[in-house]
């Protein structure tokens, strides 16, 4: 399969990182490529501009491309980053924690053309690292009766969140993102999500592996249920928090830290991100396996 030089470089970089996607470098403006925001914090930044509101109901307008760099003052500390991982680990039933910790690196769903899913997409790697240049944008489009969320990573995907007062359908086809239904509580968009396929990880490595060992995961089941809260902390800062319950693998609900995601640069747009074909995927997985074995 022929590839341009730019794509070849992207594939080589992906092999080093164990990633299995490619997307045009133009999807990240140079000004935003240094750091991608989205770290977990417990404070709300000072409002720089009035929160934009919709013309049809006056609710905060979440529309925009999100994933800009976080100011240094909002970057989470190591203790804050670790608290999310530790809290998730404590929520697992013993057998599920043991199974999660034993998972090899190559079992990560993203290495099998599966999406990160939420809340992992927001928290990114293991709920322990701020967003960086290798993790792409999300775009929100708000309309009178629904809010749509578009994501780049690992492949172009979308979520449709009805906000017309309806409920979940009686029959839901299980999926990676589940079935979403939203409503407003004051200025917060609350999204109830169910109907998962049991194939996403809630986070990443739970931190119970030797230093340098990339293995471990954080399994979920088809009983997963999530309640997300999306709120504008100010005009350019999106706050996200989710409460996750999965009676088949967790002992009780787990609530993520609060994540702040900055508005991306004005010229930022999301692009296609396509999972590689089987031949390229095999090469990347082999390279990742070799790197893991050397460690």
pLDDT digits 0-9 by tens, 248-260? 999 999 999 888 8
Q: Are residues 121 and 192 in the same domain?
A: yes
Cα-Cα end-to-end distance for the chain: 31
CA distance 85 to 208: 10
For residues 10 and 153, membership in a common domain is answered with: no
Q: Same structural domain for residues 58 and 172?
A: yes
Average pLDDT over residues 27-32: 33
On the question of pLDDT at 33 being above 70, the answer is no
Are 246 and 162 contained in the same domain?
yes
pLDDT at 154: 67
List CB contacts of 281: < 8 A, sequence separation 6 or more. 20, 111, 113, 275
**Same domain membership, residue 249 and residue 114:** yes
Question: Is 49 in the same domain as 124?
Answer: yes
* Domain assignment of residue 181, given as a range: 32-271
Residues 88 and 12 in one domain: no
Which of 1-10, 204-213, 230-239 has the largest mean confidence? 230-239
**159 in a domain, yes or no?**
yes
Write down the pLDDT at residue 38: 40
30 vs 271: CA distance, rounded Å: 15
**Once rounded to an integer, what is the mean pLDDT over residues 153-162?**
85
Provide the domain count of the chain: 2
pTM: 0.77
């Amino acid at each position: 399969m022929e590839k341009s030089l730019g794509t070849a470089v992207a594939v080589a970089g992906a092999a080093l990182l164990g990633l299995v996607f490619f997307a045009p470098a133009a999807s990240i403006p140079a000004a935003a490529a240094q750091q991608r925001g989205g770290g977990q914090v417990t404070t709300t930044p000072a409002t720089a501009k009035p929160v934009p509101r919709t013309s049809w109901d006056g609710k905060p307008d979440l529309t925009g491309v999100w994933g800009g760099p976080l100011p240094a003052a909002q970057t989470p500390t190591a203790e804050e980053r670790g608290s999310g991982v530790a809290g998730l680990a404590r929520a697992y039933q013993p057998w599920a924690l043991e199974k999660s910790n034993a998972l090899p690196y190559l079992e990560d769903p993203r290495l099998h053309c599966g999406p990160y899913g939420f809340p992992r997409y927001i928290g990114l790697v293991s709920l322990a690292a701020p967003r960086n240049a290798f993790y792409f944008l999300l775009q929100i489009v708000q309309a009178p009766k629904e809010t749509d969320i578009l994501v780049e990573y690992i492949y172009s995907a979308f979520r449709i969140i009805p906000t017309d007062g309806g409920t979940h359908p009686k029959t839901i086809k299980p999926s990676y993102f589940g079935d979403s239904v939203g409503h407003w509580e004051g200025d917060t968009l609350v999204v109830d999500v169910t109907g998962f396929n049991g194939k996403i990880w809630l986070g990443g490595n739970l931190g119970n592996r030797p230093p340098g060992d990339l293995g471990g995961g954080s399994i979920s089941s088809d009983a997963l249920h999530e309640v997300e809260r999306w709120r504008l902390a100010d005009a350019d800062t999106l706050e996200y928090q989710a409460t996750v319950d999965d009676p088949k693998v967790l002992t009780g609900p787990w609530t993520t830290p609060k994540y702040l995601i900055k508005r991306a640069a004005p010229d930022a747009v999301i692009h296609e991100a396509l999972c590689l074909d089987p031949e390229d995927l095999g090469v990347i997985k082999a390279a990742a396996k070799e790197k893991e074995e050397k460690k």
